[in-house]
Copies of this chain bind each other. A is one copy, B any other.
């Protein structure tokens, strides 16, 4: 397929680390950048390395950040009485893009899943408990995914909130059961966010 150039074969193989990229797409990508966009490919390589080397997790919210405290947590424009809890950085991005939410976030980097060795401590319960105990947060918006594990995680979070005397809310129905926030259309997600209800 790429008999003339071993480096080309290696590049095609490397593209397959990307989600949704099979053998055919990987080949198309490799030929495209070599034939038509070497500048774009070099920029992609540079930014991949910069992102890998410098993006870690915010010490406060555990979301992606290249600084100790991310730009969201550091922003004076954010409402510090609202804390939205999501499973992953991509869910945080989905909420941020779809809703007008201007509060803070907390990223679990997972969901309760004993079989995978994911319990409260892996999900940052110490950090979250401290935040709740500080008394600044008035509402905990539980935006875990509506899967079995996500619902169990939501239940656990509502208990944490109740113990701390903080109101917990959950995104409204409208988010399809079994779905993943990342793949929901913006309108549905915005609606569900707007009609969130108190967890009982």
Contact = CB atoms under 8 A, between A and B. Distances in A.
Nearest to A74: B4
A34 B52 contact: yes
Contacts of A31: 88-90, 93
Interface in A14-49: 14-15, 17-20, 25, 27-35, 37-38, 40-49
Of A10, A47, A73, chain B has the most CB atoms within 10 Å of the CB of A47
How many of these chains are in the complex? 2
A121 interface: no
For this complex, into which size category does the number of interface residues on chain A fall?
Answer: 35 or more
Interface residue SS majority, chain A: helix
B17 A66 contact: no
Contact of A182 (B28, B96, B97): B28
Interface string A115-156: 000000000000000000000000000000000000000000
A7 B47 CA distance: 7
